[in-house]
Homo-oligomer: A and B are copies of this chain.
Amino acid sequence: MNVSIQLKVKSFIRDPNDTDLGRKIIENSILLIDQLGFEAFTFKKLASIIDSTEASVYRYFENKHKLLIYLISWYWSWLEYRLNVEFLKVHKPEQKLDFFLKVITTPGNVDSEFKFVNGVALHRIVVSESPKAFLTKDVDADNKDGYFRSYKVLVHMISNVVLEVNSAYPYPTALVTTIIESAYNQQYFIDHFKTLSETRKKGDLEKFLSGILYGALNVKPS
């Protein structure tokens, strides 16, 4: 398989896909952000790992926030890609939604090694860091520049499936964003606040989210 995820919106200065250094930046920034957390992550530390320099990294990304936006966007596009592949195989909207729930609650798959991207580490970054991509004072400017398009495309895609299940439901995108944000948030709570989530056992989180989704839509789960 040699499909590549091409992001339509450029939060980069120079496309990291095009060069060796660019790919090393992506590959190792995922590992390093996962290790250190976004706050302690710096371009200098990254550069020393990939035997390059701070200035070289800056030629690809204006700052580490733009890099985070790139990584998170890549994740949502990758998710959308996997859903699209699956959606060709199944037809009932309920089956599609179940697969969607499965994908967002699973830390990583066998097929998650996508070229130079460590999907498991990237999933953890989404769990721990993704709200930081939009919880900034630059959010409106970033939004205007289209930096959250991957997420929006994904949300609208699932919203349409939600409407196939219940076309009268008035809040489809609010429901989908709630499900997505809750999925990742609960994964964080399971790891760090034992008393704040009962979805500890395998499959529980999926069941919990399924109950919310079909409960809100007022239909029985498939």
The verdict on A192 contacting chain B, using a C-beta distance below 8 Å, is yes
CA of A8 to CA of B199, assembled, Å: 29
- A143 contacts across to B, CB distance below 8 A: 192-193
The verdict on A9 contacting chain B, using a C-beta distance below 8 Å, is no
Name the distance in Å between A19's Cβ and chain B's nearest Cβ: 30
The answer to whether A137 and B171 touch across the interface, beta carbons within 8 angstroms, is no
Chain A 168-179 interface 0/1 with B at a Cβ cutoff of 8 Å (1 = within): 001111110110
CA of A135 to CA of B37, assembled, Å: 9
Instruction: Using A171-B198, A215-B216, A215-B218 as known contacts, list a sample of 6 further A-B pairs with CB atoms less than 8 Å apart, ordered by residue number in A.
Output: A131-B131, A170-B208, A171-B197, A174-B186, A181-B185, A215-B215
What residues make up the interface of A, taking CB atoms closer than 8 Å to B? Answer: 36-37, 39-40, 128-129, 131-132, 134-137, 139-140, 143, 148, 152, 155-156, 170-175, 177-178, 181-182, 185-186, 188-189, 192-193, 195-199, 204, 208, 211-212, 214-218
Q: Which 10 A-B pairs have the closest CB atoms?
A: A215-B215, A37-B137, A178-B182, A215-B216, A131-B131, A171-B208, A174-B197, A171-B198, A212-B216, A139-B192
